[in-house]
Amino acid sequence: MKSSFTSARWNNFFANDYSPLEWTSVKISISSIVCFFSIYILYHRSTQPFPSGICNYINCAYVATDAIRLPVSVLLVLLSLMYISEVQMIFSTLLLFVLAVLIFSLDESNGNPAENGILALVFLAQFSAYLQNRFNAQSNLSKNRMQFSAQFFAAAYTLSAISKLHVSGFAWFTDDAPKFALEVMRVFNSVYVTNGLNEYSHKGLSVASFIIAHPLFTKLILGGSLLLELCAFSLMLNKKTAFVYSFLLLAFHAGIFYTLNIFFPTITLPLIVFFINPLYWLLSGAGYVYATFVTPKVS
Amino acid sequence: MKANRHKLILILNLVAVLLLPLLNWFNPIDFYFEDSLAAHQKWFPSFYFFTYLFFKLFFPVANGIILYGMLRFQFKTENRIVFLLILIQSMLLFFVLQTIGFVAASLYVYLLLLISVSVFAWGKYKNEIAKCITVAKESKVITGGFLFTIYITLCLLLPRAYPFAKYTMFNKFSEHTSVFLLRNNQQELVPLNEYSTVDGNHLFELYVATNEQHGFMYLSNEEKEVEQQLVCKELLHSIFADLKKPIPFDSISLNRIDYFLEQNKIASHEKQLYKCAVE
C-alpha cells in the first residue's frame, strides 16, 4: 500500500497514462455507483409496465421478485469485489455488463427512458479491452480500458446533439429558444405537484420569466450547450483535454440543474469518476501526507 | 503536426458526420430508405421485411464494397486489416448518416469524393489513411473512435433498447407543455408523494409512455377525449398501485395544466381529464 501511495504523483495525472492507483480508484467508484443504482432499482421496481429492450423478450421483473433480488444483489457485490480485486476480469466485466443491462432495462421498462445513461456500457468497454489484450498481448490494456469507456461518454453527448439538430435544427437555439421557458414551467411545477410546496412553482415562474425577458442570453446559453455536446468527442482526444472538457460538461449539467431542476446522476457521476477521478486525488493527497509527515525520513 | 495527424483526420471525419445532418431539411426524397419497418409493412405487405432490409443495407454495403475495391486495388494485398477497417468504418458511417437522413448520406459521398480528388488527391489520401492507422496504433492514446462509431450507429438503429438510446433530452421545445396533478373533491392539490411513489415528472413520462403504448395522439389538437380518459384511468391505477397510506377523500380527479406562450407571456389552462370515486 505504501509504495502505491508514494508512487502517485500529482503531475502523473496528465501524462496520458493511467497509474494502477487511478485505475483502482475508478474501479472502486464506478462499481459502487452501479451497485447503488442497481440495488435501488431491484428494491423499487417490481413490474415492467412498458417493456423495452431486452424486457420485450424476457421478464426482467423476475430479478426484482422477493426471492431473487437479494441473491442478485449479493451476486452484484461479489462481482464488484472480483472486479476491484482484478480477478477474472473478462468474466467479471462481462457478467457485470449483463446484470447491469438486465436491471437497468427493468428501470427503463418503468417509463424511465434513457435515464440510466451508459453505466452498463463501461463494463462492456472494459470487457472489450481485456478481450483484446487476451488475443493481442501487445495491446495497451491500461489505456484501452479507460479510453474505450471514454468513447461511450463522447457518443452519448454527441447523440444528444444529433437528436436536437435532427428534430429541431438550428431553430432549437434560435427561434425556439423562448419556448424553453415552457419546459422550465413544466419541470418546476412537476416538483410542485409532487410535494405541494409552492416555492417550486414560484421559482419556475421566476426562471421562465427571466428566459423570456432575456432572449439573446437564452440563445447564447442554448447555442453554447449544443456546441458543447457536439464537441464531446474532445473527451477522446487526450487526458488533459478530457479533464478540462469534463469540467465544462459539469458546468453544463449545473446549468441544467439550476434552470430545470434536473440532475442526471447516471451520466454525471461516471463522468466525474472517469475524467476527474476524485478518489484518485484523495488517495494521492493522503499518500503525499503519509509520505511527507508520517513516514520517518532516512538521512 | 505529424504525430497529431490521426487526430486531425478523426476531427475532420467527425465534423463531416456532425455537420451534414444539418442539411437534412433539404426536402429529402428518401422515405423508402428512411422509414420504419411498420411503413414498409404498409407499402409491401408480403415482402416488407426484405424491402426494409434491402433499402437499409443497399447503400452502406455498396459504399463499403466500392471503398474496399478501390483500396484493395491501391494497396494490392498486403494490408488486409486496413481493408477490413475501412470496410467496416465506411459501412457504419453510412448507417449513421442514412439513419439521420438520406440526403446527409448522399452528401457524404460527394464530400468524400471532393476530399479524395481535390484536396488530398487519391494517392495522398490513401497514404493519409495508412499513416493515420499506424500513428494511432503507435501513440495508443487515441483508440480510433471505433466504439464511438458503433455505439452511435446502434443507438440510431435501436433507439429504445437499453443500453441503446437516442438521448432525446429536450430535443424539441413544444408550443405548449403540460403538468399532471391530482385534486380532491374540494379541488385542492393532492401532493403525490404523500400517497404514492410516483412523482410529477415520472407521471408525465408515464402519460407519454401509456399513450405511445396505445398509439393514441396526445398533447395536440388531435387528442380524443375517450382515449385520454382511458389513459388517465390507467395512470391513476399506476399512481395508486402501491399506496403509502389510505386516501382520505371521497373522490379524486386527474387534471392537466397546459402552459403556452401568449403575447410573450406565460399563460396556463387547467382541465379535468378523469374523475373517480375512491373505494
Does residue B73 lie within any of the structural domains? yes
Residues of chain B contacting residue A44, judged by C-beta atoms under 8 Å apart: 197
Same domain (yes/no): B69, B201: no
Closest Cα in chain B, distance from residue A57 (Å): 11
Binary contact (A180, B173; C-beta < 8 A): yes
Chain-chain contact of B191 with A196 (C-beta, under 8 angstroms): yes
Asked if the structure places residue B245 within a domain, the reply is yes
> pLDDT value at position B31?
60
Site of grid cell 497514404:
B127
A181/B143 Cβ within 8 A: no
**How many alpha carbons fall within 13 Å on the CB side of residue B174?**
15
For cell 433498447, name the residue.
Answer: B161
Residue pair A181/B266 in contact by the 8 Å Cβ criterion: yes
List Cβ neighbours of A224 (8 Å cut-off, separation of 6 or more). none
Asked if residue B52 belongs to a domain, the reply is yes
Express each pLDDT in A41-55 by its tens digit: 998 888 887 787 788
Does B136 share its domain with B55? yes
A-facing residues of B in 109-128 (CB < 8 A) are: none
Distance from CA of B174 to the nearest CA of A (A): 7
Model pLDDT, residue A83? 94
- Same domain flag for B114 and B202: no
The last residue of a domain, from among B109, B137, B165: B165
Closest chain A residue to the Cα of B166, Cα to Cα: A159
pLDDT tens digits along B163-177: 888 787 888 888 888
The predicted structure's pLDDT at residue B121: 44
Which value does ipTM take for this structure? 0.85
Whether B165 sits inside 8 A of A114 (CB atoms) is yes
In this complex, which of B175, B201, B203 lies closest to A187 when CB atoms are compared?
B201
pLDDT of residue B65 exceeding 90: no
Same structural domain for residues B181 and B153?
no
Residues B110 and B64 in one domain: yes
Evaluate whether residue B200 is within a structural domain. Answer: yes
What are the contacts of A282-286 at 24+ separation with CB within 8 A? A283/A5, A283/A8, A283/A21, A283/A25, A284/A5, A284/A8, A284/A9, A284/A10, A284/A21, A286/A5
Closest CA to A131 of A145, A121, A143: A145
Does the distance separating the beta carbons of A185 and B259 come in below 8 Å? yes
- Cβ contact, residue pair A168, B238, below 8 Å: no
Q: For residue A217, give how far its alpha carbon lies from the nearest alpha carbon of chain B (Å).
A: 16
Q: Is residue B87 part of a domain?
A: yes
Q: What is the pLDDT of residue B167?
A: 82
pLDDT of residue A194: 87
Q: How far is A105 from chain B (nearest CA, A)?
A: 6
For B43, other C-beta atoms within 10 Å of its C-beta total 13
Domain boundary among B140, B165, B190: B165
Bigger pLDDT: B260 vs B276: B260
A194: cell is 409532487
Lowest mean pLDDT among A50-54, A130-134, B35-39: B35-39
Q: pLDDT tens digit string along A68-123? A: 889 999 999 999 999 999 999 999 999 999 999 999 988 888 877 667 778 889 99
Size of interface A-B (CB pairs under 8 A): 222
Interface of A with B in 246-265 (CB under 8 A): 260, 262
Query: Does the structure show a pLDDT above 70 at A185?
Result: yes
Q: Is residue B170 part of a domain?
A: no
Read off the pLDDT of residues A212-230 as tens digits, 9 standing for 90 and up. Answer: 988 888 999 999 999 999 8
Burial B15-25 (b: 16+ CB within 10 A, else e): ebbbebbeebe
Closest Cβ opposite residue A16 in set B141, B143, B156 = B141
Mutate to test the interface with A, among B173, B204, B261 (most CBs of A within 10 A): B173
Question: Which of A194, A225, A237, A257 to mutate to probe the B interface, most B CBs <10 Å?
Answer: A194
Q: Is the pLDDT assigned to residue B143 strictly greater than 70?
A: no
Minimum-distance CB partner of B205 among A111, A163, A195: A111
> What is the distance in angstroms between the CA of the first residue and the CA of the last residue of chain B?
75
Do B132 and B240 belong together in one domain?
Answer: no
In a domain, B171, yes or no: no
The C-alpha cell that represents A60 in the structure block? 426482467
Q: Chain B residues with CB inside 8 Å of A112's CB?
A: 202, 205
**Domain extent for B196:** 176-277
Residue B96 reports pLDDT greater than 80: no
Give burial (CB, 10 Å; 0-12/13-18/19+) of B260: middle
C-alpha angle A88/A93/A98, rounded to 5°?
130
Q: How far is A108 from chain B (nearest CA, A)?
A: 7
Inter-chain contact B177–A164, Cβ cutoff 8 Å?
no
Indicate whether B182 and B116 sit together in one domain. no
Do residues B51 and B103 both lie within one domain? yes
Q: Name which residue leads in pLDDT, B70 or B93.
A: B93
B143: its cell numbers: 483508440
Does residue B192 sit in the same domain as residue B154? Answer: no
The answer to whether the bond into B163 is cis (omega within 30° of 0) is yes
Same domain, B227 and B102: no
Three-state SS for B130? helix
B150 and B201 together in one domain: no
Q: How confident is the model at residue B120 (pLDDT cuts 50, 70, 90)?
A: very low
Angle at the Cα of A228 from the Cα atoms of A223 and A229, rounded to 5 degrees = 100
In this model, does residue B257 exceed pLDDT 60? yes
Give the whole-number percent of chain A exceeding pLDDT 90: 30
How far apart are the CA of B208 and the nearest CA of chain A, in angstroms?
A: 9
Q: Which of A165, A104, A156 is nearest to B165 (CA)?
A: A156
Residue A6 C-alpha, separation from nearest chain B C-alpha, in angstroms = 25
Q: pLDDT tens across B69-81, in order?
A: 655 555 554 555 6
The answer to whether residue B147 is domain-embedded is yes
Alpha carbon A33 to chain centroid distance? 9
End-of-domain residue from the set B141, B165, B189: B165
Q: Quote the number of domains for chain B.
A: 2
Q: Is A100 in a helix, a strand, or coil?
A: helix
Arithmetic mean of pLDDT, A166-191? 87
Cell numbers given for A239? 487526458
Looking at the structure, tell me whether residues B74 and B132 fall in a common domain.
yes
pLDDT at A249 over 90: yes
Characterize the bridge pairing of strands B160-161 and B164-165. Answer: antiparallel
Query: Is the minimum CB–CB distance between A206 and chain B shorter than 8 Å?
Result: no
